[in-house]
Amino acid sequence: MGNFNFSIDLPVRSEWANVDLLRTSVQNCFTAIFSDIEGCHSLAMVTGELIENAIKYGDWTASDEQRFRLRVWGEGRSAHISVENPVRSSDTNAEEVMKTLGWMRSFPSAIEAYRAKLLEIAAADRDPGNSKLGLVRIAYEGNCLLSAALDRGVLRVQAELTV
Amino acid sequence: MQGLTVGDLRIEALDAPPAVQLLWKGKSNERHPGEALAPYFREVLAAAGTRNLPVELHFEKLEHFNSSTITSIIQLIQDSRARSIKLVLVYDQALKWQKLSFDALRVFAKDELLELRSA
């Protein structure tokens, strides 16, 4: 992919069908602009995994407007994908996201963290549910740097990819 | 052996000795893919075990799968090994996402009961 500047900022209804609609929209949009099909697939995968987490673990009980915020933007050779969703104050998911990011940083590389997560899932008796495999996949397969912040009941998870 | 359709995913089953072949097509993007895949995989393993055949999963035509689907595949790897049924995962190495996903699954290829093969 060459240098680019763009920005997409969308309030999205928290409905599962929107995961694939947005994932494929990002993929199609970038494929129309850039020739690197694999890079576009990677951006789309990252978008899909972040949105899945927002819908699964966001707090959609309190708000009348059940929407999360998706931002995709690029500057120079960096692409950023950010998803923001409300979280309940008593919910431990945001803390688990932070812990997972710290756990990933304890490995020398993303592939080693990913392999460790696969083995952890295999060692669980049954479907571990909230395994955070998606986040580890983003770092490994998407080759992204991940960050997260919790501010006034909103969790923002952001992926940055140098292209 | 019956196939399976779950949302945008279609799995075609080919009873083609010397293996039971499952051809994955479309996209596996369900919220809880394991709810459909786990019981289906149990049936597949039972059928393959009865006939002493390996199971081959072909992903070459698959467009996308989410991380929950990867979890289901890991559970299939564990279950097939527990039943001593050989499992072969066939993917398209020319697709970067498939190469990355399946190369990482080689962490489970510690004996002859699991083979990862690029098409």
- Amino acid residing at A37: I
Query: Structural domain of residue B47, as residue ranges?
Result: 4-118
Q: What is the pLDDT of residues A59-70, one digit of tens each?
A: 998 766 789 999
Is residue A1 in a domain? Answer: no
- Block residue for tokens 């995709």: A72
Encoded tokens for A112:
């080693």
Q: Pairing state of beta strands A78-86 and A154-162?
A: antiparallel
Both tokens assigned to A32: 């129309």
Cβ A50 vs Cβ A19: under 8 Å: no
Instruction: Give the residue on B whose Cα is nearest the Cα of A42.
Output: B97
Residues of chain A contacting B105 with CB distance shorter than 8 Å: 118
Q: Name which of A13, A26, A14 is nearest A80 in CA terms.
A: A26
> What pLDDT score does A67 carry?
92
CB < 8 Å to A111, chain B: 104
Instruction: Provide the pLDDT for residue B40.
Output: 98
Q: What angle do CA A22, A24, A30 make, to 5 degrees?
A: 100
Residue A126 confidence class, pLDDT cut points 50, 70, 90: low
Chain A residue with the nearest C-alpha to that of B8: A20
- Determine what percent of chain A is predicted with pLDDT higher than 90: 71
Asked, for residue A117, whether it belongs to a domain, the answer is yes
Residue contact A137–B78, C-beta within 8 A: no
Residue pair A148/A158 in contact (Cβ under 8 Å)? The answer is yes
Q: Whole-prediction pTM value? A: 0.95
- Which residues in chain B touch residue A58, judged by CB atoms under 8 angstroms apart? none
Check residue A141 and report its DSSP letter: T
Domain count, chain B: 1
pLDDT digits (tens, 9 = 90+) for A6-15: 899 999 999 9
- Cβ distance of A122 and B67 shorter than 8 Å: no
Query: CA neighbours within 13 Å on the CB side: how many for A102?
Result: 7
pLDDT class of A112 with cuts at 50, 70, 90: very high
Number of CB pairs, chain A paired with chain B, less than 8 A apart: 69
- So what's the pLDDT on residue A63? 62
pLDDT class for A76, splitting at 50, 70, 90?
A: confident
CB-based contact B95 A141, cutoff 8 Å: no
Confidence of residue A3 (pLDDT cuts 50, 70, 90): low
A75, pLDDT greater than 90: no
ipTM: 0.95
Q: State the Cα angle at A44 between A135 and B31, rounded to 5°.
A: 60
C-alpha distance from B107 to closest chain A C-alpha (Å): 7
Percent of chain A with pLDDT strictly greater than 70: 93
pLDDT, residue A4, reads 62
- Model confidence at A32, in pLDDT bands (50, 70, 90)? confident
Mutate to test the interface with B, among A14, A20, A125, A136 (most CBs of B within 10 A): A20
Domain span holding position A132: 6-162
Residues whose CB falls within 8 Å of the CB of residue B45, separated by 6 or more in sequence, listed in order: B55, B76, B79, B80, B83, B85
Task: Domain count for chain A, please give it.
Answer: 1
**Dist. CA A135–CA A103, nearest whole Å:** 11
Q: Which residues of chain B have pLDDT under 70?
A: none
Quick one: angle between helices A110-123 and A133-140, nearest 10?
150
For residues A158 and B81, give the distance between their C-alpha atoms in angstroms, rounded to a whole number: 38
CB contact under 8 A, B67 and A111: no
| Residue A135 near residue A104, CB atoms below 8 Å | yes
Q: Is the pLDDT of residue A16 over 70?
A: yes
* Structure confidence at residue A35 (pLDDT): 77
Q: What is the CATH number of the domain that holds B104?
A: 3.30.750.24
Cβ distance B96 to A134 less than 8 Å, yes or no, reads: no
- pLDDT in the model for residue B78: 96
Tell me, what CATH number does A33's domain have? Answer: 3.30.565.10
Mean pLDDT of chain A: 91
- CA atoms of B26 and A96, how far apart (whole Å): 32
Chain A residues at the B interface, defined by Cβ less than 8 Å, are 16, 19-20, 23, 38, 41-42, 44-45, 48-49, 52, 55-56, 111, 114-115, 118-119, 121-122, 126-128, 131, 133-134, 137, 140-141
CA gap B79, B61 in Å, rounded: 24
Residue B16 has a pLDDT of 82
